[in-house]
């Protein structure tokens, strides 16, 4: 049960890794062989578990002339396989099953059909080599074609079955046990299968007694180099029967424990998981470093024209302050300039307050497009984001994450424009505008009174009209008398004082407007960066995070599959 649960966890991990990798475009994968092999293993494992779990398939594999068929006959105690001098002898796999046990051999038929084994030989339990029926209950013993057959089709059958059966008995002979092809192409890739691998040095009767220890030691050393340190190593002679009983015991133990299939499938899963990791290694950080996001937002803010908009907000504030608090005699000059925010297609308030609420809503701004330098900075920040998100991953994950970071580069300008539009800009008039405006009109009234007073006196003086009902003694004065301070007439005081005071209030208002404009520009930059940050998170960063999660799912799945 524990082995089954372990296999379930490994299978779930492999399936997660394959599903994650399947989301990567094929052109980024380079080689797809490891992925296809993983899918094949998932299919094989699922199918093998559906078929008879009471049977254990043990295959005899080996090179030409190793004596596989002879050993099969010796183990079965009957002449099931054809043995001859002409090579290769075995063209198609042969299955030996035992009848009369508690496990019905008929249940193995679907399993053999799936393995594409069409030749079978049934042996009554209790006869031949195995006298204990329980030792062969559920055993399916296969004789495979030669793994080095000159017939390509024979070799392919042997390779396919060697990757599928529950347990393997590698049959070597003293002449070819050190063959580099056998070790490099077959034994070394089977390193994970040591638990269900038996290595038999057959035909030991051809070796002198003095040479056997040295040959056996050399074989063990080569197996260690192949990664099969824990594989069972036996010596046999199919001709003399030496060691055959020991091979039977080892095979019977595999059958009795009923764990060979689970162990083999688990090894299959671990092997393909390691191949996936070698081909598509992923090592993605759990979170992006904060400086990476700040760098991206800074580049996007520059491309979005945040500084231009902030300056426009400040300029609009100064503009409206001038229109509301400037000296009334000079305010009309402001009509020759446009509101900086209106020029960018932003803002809701004009010189006289809120605009018509029924006016059409702006859907794009007139903020100048990003310069080539700013666009290059954005592209660099996006590529850097993909590289940071990839961490220690290799391709295809690095390319996959980088593509995710740059996939929205074409739409970034429009998204930034919409982010600017969504931002509520502080384009309200200052509360002091009204008070200062009233003061300016009062001061202007004083100025106008002085102008009017002096104008009246100028007209009267020009017409030589005497003011007052008291008769004048002496000559008539040249001009009408003016009420005055000790040195300056009152009308002049009103005119000059009104003008100076109005200009002074206008200058003080301009200074106050400049201070308020700086504050609003700072608040605008903060608000715009917040909007751009949100845009980056819901757009680019969300896409990168989703792809990084896919890469992490692959890495976690591979880790679980490898156990």
Strand partners of residue 58: 141, 167
Say how far apart CA 400 and CA 275 lie, in whole Å: 19
Residue of 118, 114, 108 whose CA lies nearest to 143: 118
| CA distance to 211, 421, 519, 529, 540, per residue, from 525 (Å) | 87, 14, 10, 6, 21
Residue recorded with tokens 């504030």: 317
The predicted structure's pLDDT at residue 236: 93
Please write the tens of the pLDDT for every residue from 445-492. Answer: 888 888 887 787 777 776 766 554 344 444 444 455 555 556 677 777
* Nearest CA among 320, 297, 280, 168 for reference residue 232: 168
The pLDDT tens digits of the residues spanning 425-434 come to 777 777 787 7
Model pLDDT, residue 469: 39
Rounded Cα distance between 118 and 218, Å, is 38
Residues of the chain with pLDDT under 50: 1-2, 85-88, 349-362, 468-478
3-class SS at 428? coil
Task: Give the other-Cβ count within 10 Å of 208's Cβ.
Answer: 7
Per-residue pLDDT at 555: 94
Q: Which of 376, 422, 408, 413 is nearest to 528 (CA)?
A: 422
Closest-CA residue to 173 (of 201, 145, 195, 148): 201
Q: Are 558 and 276 a contacting pair, CB within 8 Å?
A: yes
**Rounded to 5°, angle at Cα 367 from 362 and 368:** 140
E strands in 33-118: 56-62, 94-99
Q: Spell out the alpha helix ranges (H) of 93-176.
A: 109-115, 152-162
Handedness of CA 11, 560, 160, 1 (dihedral sign): negative
**470 CB-contact burial (10 Å; exposed 0-12 / middle 13-18 / buried 19+):** exposed
Give the 3-state secondary structure of residue 304. helix
Tokens 């590529």, located at residue: 383
- State the burial class of residue 72 (Cβ atoms within 10 Å of its Cβ: 0-12, 13-18, 19+): buried
Q: Which helix (H) or strand (E) holds 490?
A: helix 490-536
Domain ranges of the chain: 54-257, 433-469+477-523
* 8 A C-beta contact, residue 41 and residue 268: yes
Closest CA to 317 of 537, 58, 517: 517
Which structure tokens are listed for 416? Answer: 């930034």
pLDDT score recorded for residue 4: 56
Residue 87 and residue 31 in contact, taking contact as beta carbons nearer than 8 Å: no
Strands, sheet with 119-124, edge to edge from the N-terminal-most edge strand = 119-124, 94-99, 139-143, 56-62, 167-172, 197-201, 232-235
pTM tops 0.85 = no
For residue 353, give the 3-state DSSP assignment: strand
**What CA–CA distance (Å, rounded) separates 410 from 366?**
19
CA nearest to 46, candidates 38, 57, 35: 38
54-257 CATH, one of 3.30.930.10, 3.40.50.11540, 3.40.50.300, 3.40.50.2000: 3.40.50.300
Q: What is the DSSP letter of 484?
A: B
* Helices then strands, each counted (H, E), the chain: 20, 9
Question: What is the radius of gyration, based on Cα positions, of the chain?
Answer: 47
Alpha-carbon distance values, 450 to 363, 492, 498 (Å): 51, 6, 8
**Rounded distance between C-alpha atoms, residue 90 and residue 421, angstroms:** 78
Residue with tokens 């003080």: 508
Residues in the chain, total: 563
């Amino acid at each position: 049960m524990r082995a089954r649960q372990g296999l379930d966890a490994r299978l779930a991990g492999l399936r997660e890794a394959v599903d994650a990798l399947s989301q990567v475009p094929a052109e980024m994968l380079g080689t797809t062989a490891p992925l296809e092999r993983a899918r094949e293993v998932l299919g094989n494992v699922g199918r093998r578990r559906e078929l008879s779990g009471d049977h254990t398939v043990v295959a005899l594999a080996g090179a030409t002339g190793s004596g596989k068929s002879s050993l099969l006959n010796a183990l079965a105690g009957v002449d099931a396989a054809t043995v001859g001098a002409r090579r290769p002898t075995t063209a198609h796999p042969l299955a030996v099953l035992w009848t009369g046990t508690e496990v019905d051999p008929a249940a193995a038929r679907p399993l053999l059909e799936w393995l594409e084994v069409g030749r079978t030989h049934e042996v009554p339990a209790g006869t031949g080599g195995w006298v204990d029926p329980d030792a062969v209950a559920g055993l399916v013993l296969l004789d495979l074609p030669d793994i080095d057959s000159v017939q390509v089709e024979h070799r392919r059958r042997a390779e396919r079955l060697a990757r599928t059966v529950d347990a393997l008995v590698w049959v070597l002979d003293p002449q070819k046990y050190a063959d580099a092809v056998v070790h490099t192409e077959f034994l070394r890739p089977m390193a994970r299968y040591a638990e269900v691998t038996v290595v038999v040095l057959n035909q030991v009767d051809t070796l002198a007694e003095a040479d056997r220890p040295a040959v056996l030691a050399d074989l063990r050393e080569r197996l260690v180099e192949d990664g099969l340190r824990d594989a069972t190593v036996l010596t046999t002679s199919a001709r003399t029967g030496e060691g055959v009983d020991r091979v039977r015991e080892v095979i019977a133990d595999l059958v009795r424990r009923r764990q060979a299939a689970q162990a083999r499938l688990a090894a299959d899963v671990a092997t393909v998981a390691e191949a996936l990791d070698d081909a598509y290694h992923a090592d993605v950080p759990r979170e992006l470093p904060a400086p990476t996001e700040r760098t991206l937002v800074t580049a996007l803010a520059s491309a979005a024209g945040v500084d231009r908009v902030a300056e426009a907000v400040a300029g609009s504030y100064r503009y409206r302050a001038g229109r509301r608090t400037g000296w009334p005699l000079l305010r009309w000059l402001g009509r020759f300039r446009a509101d900086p925010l209106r020029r960018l297609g932003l803002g809701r308030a004009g010189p006289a307050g809120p605009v018509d609420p029924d006016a059409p809503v702006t859907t794009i701004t007139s903020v100048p497009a990003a310069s080539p330098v700013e666009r290059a900075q954005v592209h660099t920040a996006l590529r850097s984001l993909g590289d940071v998100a990839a961490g220690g991953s290799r391709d295809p994950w690095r390319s996959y994450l980088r593509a995710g970071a740059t996939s929205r580069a074409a739409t970034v300008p429009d998204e930034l424009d919409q982010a600017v539009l969504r931002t509520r800009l502080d384009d309200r008039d200052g509360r002091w505008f009204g008070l200062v405006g009233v003061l300016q009109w009062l001061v202007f009234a004083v100025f106008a009174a002085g102008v009017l007073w002096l104008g009246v006196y100028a007209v009267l003086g020009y017409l030589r009209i005497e003011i007052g009902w008291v008769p004048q003694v002496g000559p008539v004065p040249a001009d009408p008398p003016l009420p005055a301070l000790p040195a300056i007439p009152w009308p002049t005081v009103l005119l000059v004082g009104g003008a100076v005071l109005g200009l002074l209030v206008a200058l003080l208002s301009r200074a106050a407007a400049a201070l308020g404009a700086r504050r609003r520009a700072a608040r605008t930059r903060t608000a715009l960066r917040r909007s751009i940050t949100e845009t980056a998170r819901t757009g680019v960063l969300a896409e990168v995070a989703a792809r990084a999660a896919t890469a992490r799912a692959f890495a976690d799945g591979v880790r679980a599959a490898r156990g």
